[in-house]
Amino acid sequence: MKIIKRMIPEVLKEKIRNQIQLLNMPADSKQVVKRNKKGLFIQDPGIDICVEKALGWILNAQENSKTFDGGVARYFSLISGWDASYPETTGYIIPTMINCGKYYQRDDLIESARKMLDWCEKIQLECGAFQGGTIIHEPVVPVTFNTGQILIGLSTGFKYFKSYEKSMHKAAAWLVDTLDDDGCWRKYPTPFAKYGEKAYETHVSWGLFEASKVSGKETYALAGLRNVDWALTKQHDNGWFSDCCLDMPDMPLTHTLGYVLRGILEAYKYSDKAIYLEKAMLTADALLDCINSNGYLPGRFNPDWSTTVNWSCLTGTVQIALCWMIIYQEIGEQKYLNAAKLANRYVRKTMVTNGAVGIEGGIQGSFPVYGGYGEHRYLNWAAKFFIDSNLMEQSLIDSSL
Q: Give pLDDT tens digits for 79-96.
A: 999 999 999 999 999 999
34 exposure class (CB count in 10 Å sphere: 0-12, 13-18, 19+): exposed
What's the CA gap between 56 and 318, in Å, rounded? 18
Residue 257: which of 240, 278, 237, 279 has the closest Cα?
240
What's the CA gap between 345 and 366, in Å, rounded? 15
What's the CA gap between 62 and 193, in Å, rounded? 25
What's the CA gap between 290 and 284, in Å, rounded? 10
SS3 content of the chain, % helix, strand, coil (to 5): 60, 5, 35
pLDDT in the model for residue 88? 98
pLDDT in the model for residue 24? 82
Q: Which H or E run contains 64?
A: none
Whether the CA torsion 214, 86, 300, 34 is positive or negative: it is: negative
Sheet holding 377-379, edge to edge: 81-82, 75-77, 377-379
What's the CA gap between 138 and 160, in Å, rounded? 33
Please, what is the angle between helix 107-123 and helix 144-161, to 10°?
A: 130
Q: Let me know if domain 31-400 sits in CATH 1.50.10.10.
A: yes
- Distance between the two ends of the chain, CA-based, in angstroms? 66
User: Helix, strand or coil for residue 307?
Assistant: coil
pLDDT in the model for residue 1? 41
Residues 379 and 315 sit within 8 Å (Cβ to Cβ): yes
pLDDT in the model for residue 5? 44
What is the residue type of 185? Answer: W
Residues 72 and 61 sit within 8 Å (Cβ to Cβ): yes
pLDDT in the model for residue 13? 67
Residue spans of alpha helices (H) in 64-198: 87-104, 107-123, 144-161, 165-177
pTM for the full predicted model: 0.95
pLDDT in the model for residue 400? 80
pLDDT in the model for residue 3? 43
Q: Which residues pair with 184 in a beta bridge?
A: none
Low-confidence residues in the chain, pLDDT < 70: 1-15, 18
What's the CA gap between 150 and 168, in Å, rounded? 9
What's the CA gap between 224 and 218, in Å, rounded? 10
Measured CA to CA in angstroms, residue 21 lies from 8, 28, 261, 311, 378 at distances of 20, 14, 36, 20, 16
